[in-house]
A and B are shown apart, each in its own frame.
Chain A
Amino acid sequence: MAAPRKFRCAVLSAVKHDYVARGVASHPRFELVVVADDHDAPAWAHERNQQFADAHCIPYIRDVDRALREFDTQVVIVSPEAERHCGLSIRAARAGKHVIQDKPLATRREDANALVEEVERAGVRFLMWNRNFLPAVLHAREQITTGAIGKPYAIHADFYFAKDAGPTRGSRQLGYPPIHWEAHQIAAHIDGADGGLGREPMGELGVEGIYPLGYIRLLTGAEVRKVFARSTAFFHQAHADNGVEDLASVTLEMDGGLLGSIAIGRIGLASHPSGGEIKLHILGSAGALVISEARPEVGIYHKGQPPKEARQRRVANENDFLLADDFARAIDENRDTVLGARASCAIFATVAAALESCRTGDVVEVK
């Protein structure tokens, strides 16, 4: 039996989530060969990229186009600041590379549309990194596909990250300036508290909405048609100062009368002992499912335990491997990935409609 084809990967910026590139590299069919970024990227970005390259014993070059030309790569992994996501992904697709991209898909609708067009024109595969292959999500999918609960008619996702994001709301003293979003996110990277890295402030719906909406899409296959949403900067001064939400709820009305909702937030470290409550509630014509996304898990408690250490540890989590595996098979079989460009764009549109609903107070159609 012939050994499966291996893919050489260029990492186009690793400033936000280096776990995406590390996750891809955990699969034996993928090999990281170069890190690259544009020469005019900020100094802090070059520093992070260099650190990542050094850690993986691969070169870092400050020339994206050269990296795309000269390293015989088939795949790129894109994780810069959010507003550069689409630009780098589009350049990679134009160069005929398959693309794995960090969230969010884009910060503007026109960028998202351009990315979909370019990916489809170039005939390359695209994967938005996601959590759809977590064991509990796969279990939910299995229950649904085997008909355990009949035909789903409602689905609800809670997606709370129990993380802090700097000073609490209301803590800014008179005379002090508002928190600068990008500077705050850069500084917060050291302990993983950076939520939406980029020049433009982004709330939890825009940054993390891809995850619960990805679950709903995976489990129902339905398009969202209308939304009603509420949001607030409830916890963190950085969000309040920059006019973006850290807590939100969205009612979803989908194809075929399917109802749904998401509740999402970056709700503070103190709000959960193990990183946050993430749950799915699914109703079907013959039953219902209540799924805890964290399971299976093991409780670990000990003296001197750091406050930020999860008390419940996830186990049997093969999400990274399975995402990479799905991507490799999508290339092999010339099919779409578990969360391709068009599906990611639909999720982007749902988030955009939800944010509009938050602004207007009205029900908004997803376009």
Chain B
Amino acid sequence: MHDVRLAVSYPDEATRVGIAARLRGATVVPWAPGDRDAVMLCGAAHLCEQLLGGGAPVLLVADPCPTADAMESLFATARTSGVPFAVVNLDRYLPSRQLIKKQLAGPLGEPGLIRSHRWEPPSADRASDPAALPDALLRDLDVALWLAGRAPNRVYATGQKAEGAADRCIQVHLGFANGGMALLDYTNRLPPGDGYQSLSVIASSGAAYADDHQNAQLLYCGGNAQAVRTKERAGQLASVAQEFVDALRAGQNLSASATDWHAVFALAKIVQKSLASGRAVEVEAL
């Protein structure tokens, strides 16, 4: 099979060049109609509908994440037109998350307690819909479901939100039928600057700890030492693109992403229900 001609929509030329340099079985081509086999959209969800209608396989990186309705509409269009379409959560492709997922299928065994913290400075995220969950928390829910490999059967969420303000602190607690559990902590109330992430998974035969704290280097420039994170996002988009290209070349069905996102948005609704009611919610299915 010839190389897939992949058009990549990304605002940063250096990133596009980086993807092109790493891809196997594909060539990154200029963004021009007709001269491409597939399209990778990084956040430009508004282009999706037209591209899918035109018959091009599309990979959408969900950053920012489309709303549940918008995503459902896109998947419906793809189904109707028979075009391969996938929406990916970039966080799954962080090297640390990829490693943990692989290890869970191997020596770590069954996940028992998934614990994540994500702290961000305030942003305009979802300002138009203050009731919606923050994008980043949706992605964390997706990662938790992906790692757990099953839907929760019990959900409790609690949080703080200043009246009329966009800043939020939300804590989500999931219980799974096998006794497993997950605790997700999100806030967008950090002072402007770096955010923080950590993920630990306590599993039946071991544990994994991925934490910015462990990946910080020290910087001395007067006063107290400063912690500077070592970033792990360099090859992430290339990994996403490679998986898409490999799937296209192998003729694989991409519908799993629709199922996964449906589950994430269903879980998000339950989280919102728990937040609103102050009660734990039983989950029959997502």
Choose one: B158, B198, B207; the contact of A160 (CB below 8 Å). Answer: B207
Taking CB atoms, residues of chain B closer than 8 Å to A253 are 158
User: Do B190 and A288 have beta carbons less than 8 Å apart?
Assistant: yes
Bitwise, B261-277 to A at CB < 8 A (1) or not (0) is 00000000000000000
Taking CB atoms, residues of chain B closer than 8 Å to A363 are 156, 278-280
User: Do A228 and B207 have beta carbons less than 8 Å apart?
Assistant: no
Which among B115, B191, B202, B279 has the greatest number of chain A C-beta atoms within 10 A?
A: B202
Q: Which of A25-33, A107-115, A264-272, A332-340 contacts B (4 or more CB under 8 A)?
A: A264-272
Whether B189 is near chain A, meaning CB under 8 Å from some CB there, is yes
Cα A285 to Cα B160 with chains together (Å): 12
Taking CB atoms, residues of chain A closer than 8 Å to B115 are 158, 249, 263
Q: Which of A38-46, A85-93, A231-239, A302-310 contacts B (4 or more CB under 8 A)?
A: A231-239
Could you name 16 residue pairs across A and B whose Cβ atoms are closer than 8 Å? A154-B169, A154-B171, A160-B207, A230-B154, A230-B181, A231-B179, A247-B202, A249-B182, A261-B183, A265-B113, A281-B198, A283-B187, A287-B190, A288-B196, A290-B198, A290-B213
Bitwise, B168-211 to A at CB < 8 A (1) or not (0) is 01010101001111110101011100001010101011110101
User: Do A265 and B154 have beta carbons less than 8 Å apart?
Assistant: no
Whether A362 is near chain B, meaning CB under 8 Å from some CB there, is yes
Interface residues of A in 274-305 (CB under 8 A from B): 277, 279, 281, 283, 285-288, 290, 292
Cα A290 to Cα B213 with chains together (Å): 7
Cα A362 to Cα B280 with chains together (Å): 6
Contact A233/B156 with A158-B200, A261-B185, A283-B189 known, Cβ cut-off 8 Å: no
Contact A267/B190 with A230-B181, A361-B154, A363-B278 known, Cβ cut-off 8 Å: no
Whether B112 is near chain A, meaning CB under 8 Å from some CB there, is yes
User: Do B171 and A153 have beta carbons less than 8 Å apart?
Assistant: no
User: Do B207 and A277 have beta carbons less than 8 Å apart?
Assistant: yes
Q: Which residues of B contact A (CB under 8 A)?
A: 112-113, 115, 117, 119, 154, 156, 158-160, 169, 171, 173, 175, 178-183, 185, 187, 189-191, 196, 198, 200, 202, 204-207, 209, 211-213, 278-280, 282
Whether A138 is near chain B, meaning CB under 8 Å from some CB there, is no
Closest chain A CB from B214 CB (angstroms):
9
User: Do B112 and A259 have beta carbons less than 8 Å apart?
Assistant: no
Whether A156 is near chain B, meaning CB under 8 Å from some CB there, is yes
Q: Which residues of A contact B (CB under 8 A)?
A: 153-154, 156, 158, 160, 162, 228, 230-235, 247-249, 251, 253, 257, 259, 261, 263, 265, 267-268, 270-272, 277, 279, 281, 283, 285-288, 290, 292, 361-363
Closest residue of chain A to B153 (Cβ to Cβ) is A361
Closest chain B CB from A58 CB (angstroms):
42
Taking CB atoms, residues of chain A closer than 8 Å to B211 are 279, 290
Taking CB atoms, residues of chain B closer than 8 Å to A235 are 112, 204
Taking CB atoms, residues of chain A closer than 8 Å to B171 are 154, 251, 259, 261
Closest chain B CB from A59 CB (angstroms):
45
User: Do B113 and A249 have beta carbons less than 8 Å apart?
Assistant: yes
Closest chain B CB from A234 CB (angstroms):
4
User: Do A287 and B191 have beta carbons less than 8 Å apart?
Assistant: yes
Cα A261 to Cα B170 with chains together (Å): 12
Taking CB atoms, residues of chain A closer than 8 Å to B180 are 232, 234
Taking CB atoms, residues of chain A closer than 8 Å to B200 are 158, 277
Taking CB atoms, residues of chain B closer than 8 Å to A361 are 154, 175, 280, 282
Cα A270 to Cα B109 with chains together (Å): 12
Cα A264 to Cα B276 with chains together (Å): 28
User: Do A270 and B158 have beta carbons less than 8 Å apart?
Assistant: no
Cα A154 to Cα B186 with chains together (Å): 10
Closest chain B CB from A256 CB (angstroms):
10
Taking CB atoms, residues of chain A closer than 8 Å to B280 are 228, 361-363
Closest residue of chain B to A292 (Cβ to Cβ) is B213
Taking CB atoms, residues of chain A closer than 8 Å to B112 are 232, 234-235, 247, 265, 267
User: Do B185 and A156 have beta carbons less than 8 Å apart?
Assistant: yes
Taking CB atoms, residues of chain B closer than 8 Å to A267 are 112, 202, 207
Cα A224 to Cα B179 with chains together (Å): 25
Choose one: B159, B178, B206, B212; the contact of A271 (CB below 8 Å). Answer: B206
User: Do A230 and B175 have beta carbons less than 8 Å apart?
Assistant: yes
Closest chain B CB from A312 CB (angstroms):
12
